[in-house]
Amino acid sequence: MSRVLVAMSGGVDSSVAAALLLDEGHSVVGATMKLWGGRSDSGCCSVADVEDARRVAQQLGIDHHVFNFTSDFDTHVVGPYVSAHAAGRTPNPCVECNRHLKFDRFLVRARQLGFDAVATGHHARVERRAGPDRWSLARGADRAKDQSYVLSMLGQPQLERVLLPVGELTKAEVRDRAVALGLRTAAKPDSQDVCFILATDGGRSTFLGDRIPLRPGRVVDVDGNLLGSVDAVELVTVGQRRGLSEGGGEKRYALSVDTLTGTVVAGTESDLLTTSLCLTDETWTHAPLDPGTAVDVQTSAHGDPLAAVYEGGGRLTLRRPTRRVAPGQTIALYAADEVLGAAIAR
């Protein structure tokens, strides 16, 4: 029997994760991370979510704590999010929250408190295997709800102390377990958006505009000819079409964003296609891949895997053309359902 600290977000998945671990005979304690000090209306950071987690813990008969990590969240997630947009990149704050908060700060706190492992409600699987790198990360059983992409930066030091109890279940099975246990989160919808940006009140534009200057920019074609303008170049992301196509004319997409010169280069859908991806900040689940290794690449949380070859030196070659990936986005590398590593598009 292990002592397990469960990260309870106030959602159904982490609620059932705690229940499953209790059924297995572990000594379980729940903890909710207070991450965002501002207003939130999209789940996982609101006062209501903390209360839902506390009430579920009460239903399960386990202790529940709240850890205030707002300073760490601002330093490692919110600040870099704002800085990335100011530089024309498109960050993935949920990945960075997992990297720095859920599987670093929370893991360290659990160790300090004498817990053997931490658990979350992510739909992914941690599996033990032979050899010196004993742990692998794989897709969850429910492919439609798989969250291995947002965990793809995890390595052996994290995986050896992480439990993902709902990874073997479908989302429907998770909800069925919650209903059978009478948990208050059984029918609670999944959170969809960035927790620190309000879905109302201007959303991303208002959030960033309160923190950095949003400057108008010019839109040019690949030859430098002026096509039009945008209200805020910091809000444009590579691949974006909205606001770049005039009337019923040819569809245009953002090919690159330069916030220093206030320039967006736009082109056709064929201009957007590429067979090469450049990487930075590579991390590996086990060991670095050898150049020439065939991989499957996922460039968004629920995107279709793309066949590619890892060339080494921060470069991937795709087997077929695909749309460019916005700089700042996470790129996860797989072999079938197993995560091999992750990187950031540059």
Active site residues: 97, 195
Amino acid at 342: A
How is the beta sheet containing 226-230 ordered, strand by strand? 226-230, 217-220, 263-267, 253-258
Considering only CA atoms, which of 330, 41, 84, 83 is closest in space to residue 197?
Answer: 41
Helix (H) or strand (E) holding 61: none
Contact 120, 14 (CB under 8 A): yes
Distance of CA 170 to the CA centre of its chain: 20
Rounded to whole angstroms, the Cα distance separating 95 from 153 reads 8
- Determine the 3-state secondary structure of 239 from DSSP: coil
- Helix H segments across the chain? 12-23, 47-60, 70-73, 79-86, 93-97, 106-112, 156-159, 171-181, 203-209, 269-272
C-alpha neighbours within 13 Å on the C-beta side of residue 296:
15
Rounded to whole angstroms, the Cα distance separating 2 from 160 reads 13
DSSP secondary structure, 141-199, as one string? S-GGG--GGGGTT--HHHHTTEE-GGGGS-HHHHHHHHHHHT-TTTTPPPP-S-TTS-S
Residues 6+ apart with CB under 8 A from 53: 8, 9, 10, 14, 15, 30, 32, 64
- Determine the 3-state secondary structure of 110 from DSSP: helix
Rounded to whole angstroms, the Cα distance separating 294 from 129 reads 21
Tokens of 144: 């439609």
